Structure 1
Amino acid sequence: MSRIVSRGAGVVSGMLGGAVAGVVFKQVWKLLAGTDEAPQATSDEYGWGEVLAAAAIQGAIFGVVKAAIDRSATRSVHRAIGG
């Protein structure tokens, strides 16, 4: 039973983490670049540096937010079910 609860919490925390990371990245990019939209890899109007910098920042934010939410969810589930 605890395995099912843990997996369910993992799915929910993954979706929540992705949504939170997206919002955080948009705000960080707006502060750093002064624009609302980050450069897309397929866009011709941005250079390699801008595209790769945006991807690196987005990846770092996603990784940190996902780890924090996953860790928090796992600890909460363990406390709740005594595992």
Structure 2
Amino acid sequence: MIPDLVMALSRSEIDVNELKNLKLELSNWLVKGRDSGDISTESYLSAGKIEGGIDVILAMIDHGAPKSEIQLHVDSVKLRIESISQ
């Protein structure tokens, strides 16, 4: 799922439906991981920040924000993903 998120965010044109589906997968993974104790609180919070960042990107696209502004947020979310993937 994490590589899929990075790939979706790395495309020149973001597929909104794909990103929404990946966000839903992330959300479900977080709930299962938290409930089962498979992920730490720190990882849960970090992944929650990624989920929130995706929400911001989707809202920006929906509201027609300039691509340069969207790209700043995309880059930020990708950095967060990289930080928890290591």
TM-score range, shorter chain: 0.3 to 0.5
Give the number of the structure with larger relative contact order, counting CA–CA contacts within 8 Å between residues 6 or more apart.
1
Task: Give the structure-1-normalised TM-score.
Answer: 0.37
TM-score normalised to structure 2 length? 0.36
